[in-house]
Amino acid sequence: MNATATPPVTPAYSPGLEGVIAGTTKICTISPEIQSLTYRGYDIKDLMLNSSYEETAYLLLFGELPTQVQLCDFTTQLVSERHIPDAVLQQIQGFPKDAHPMDTLKAGIALLALYDVDKNNHSNDANIRKAVRLIAQTATLVAYNHRIRQGEAIIAPQGSDYSHAENFYTMAFGKKPSPVMAKVFNATLVIYAEHSFNASTFAARVTTSTLSDIHSGVTAAVGALKGPLHGGANEQAMLTFLEVKTPENAETWTREALAQKKKIMGFGHRAYKNGDPRATLLKGMRDELIAEIGDAPWVHIADTMENIVVAEKGLFPNVDYPIAYMYYMMGIPTEIYTPIFAVGRIAGWTSHVVEQLANNRLIRPKALYEGPKDRAFVSLSSR
């Protein structure tokens, strides 16, 4: 009597790797059940309200919040690394003016790799030095490219009396931000700095798991961030507010969009089903902007849309939703939103690259084949 054949087991598959654990990290924890986000064990609320971007970047890279002496030394390093080589500047000045800002950022980071003093040194200490360099230089690349695209003269990096946030804002927009704007802008960079195994960070880790260099990993991350389902959502959210135009149009526009099953950018997040804590925290800061620059229609448009989408679809705003109109209130044009995301996230990307290389294993998942099987080869003459 023949035993009954055991049917083949179909391997488990999760589209988009949702819920799949792809590695371990000591850098960031997301707890969607309690709407919590921590960097190295510190709650994002505490960091956003009390920490400078420089402190947060140090924490991500080194695992601990810096002492006053350590922060002073780290800040001095960042300031000293703000300049980019003249050869790189000449190249980006020749980029097409209609090139996507994220493409010019990718190219700029790839160029920096050619001139980095540690380019042939792949030790942990060298990678830390390159990470610090990239944190400083990414801000410069984005600011320079923005000025060049606008046909305006570039503004050199500022000195140590300018924080990282103040330096970037001044270089990009030609004026030092007010204390309130500097505070809010710093908070957005802190919030953007890290978010575990998101698409761009995972792209960086996959790339460097081959033992490629840190600049290659960051270049891959920038490419992933360019997509509207990741970094580009903030720009798309603001374009939606501009399309709605007035608070009076918000309800009709939103209900029509929902009826047409149109995707409204800035809502929903793979990691947060009951609300993005970053969005909630930033929304709490907008009154400071309103008190300084006056009310703005975008705030009321956003609130109306949010109320309807939450009630009708159960979708909550993600971090890109409040940042979209808060940046616009600060005079930041939409085309530079996603590059600014990179200015913040570079600290997280480089920290993950360093962590990946410190205990590396090539990231090489399997795929579930769904194509045709057992096909007989037919010669070219018989096809």
DSSP string, 9-69: PPPP--GGGTT------SSEEEEGGGTEEEETTEEHHHHHHH--HHHHHHHHHHSS---HH
Query: How far is residue 175's CA from residue 36's CA, in Å, rounded to a whole number?
Result: 35
Positions of E strands within the chain: 28-31, 36-39, 42-43
Q: Could you tell me the strand order of the sheet in which 42-43 lies?
A: 28-31, 36-39, 42-43
Catalytic, out of 116, 213, 276, 320: 320
Query: 80: which residues sit within 8 A by CB, 6+ positions away?
Result: 136
- At 87, list the tokens: 């050869």
Query: How far is residue 218's CA from residue 214's CA, in Å, rounded to a whole number?
Result: 6
320 is catalytic: yes
Coil, helix or strand at residue 366: coil
Query: 280: which residues sit within 8 A by CB, 6+ positions away?
Result: 35
Catalytic, out of 213, 269, 276, 352: 269
Phi and psi angles of residue 42, each rounded to the nearest 5 degrees, phi first: -95, 130
Among 311, 289, 309, smallest CA distance to 299 is for 289
Catalytic annotation, residues: 269, 320
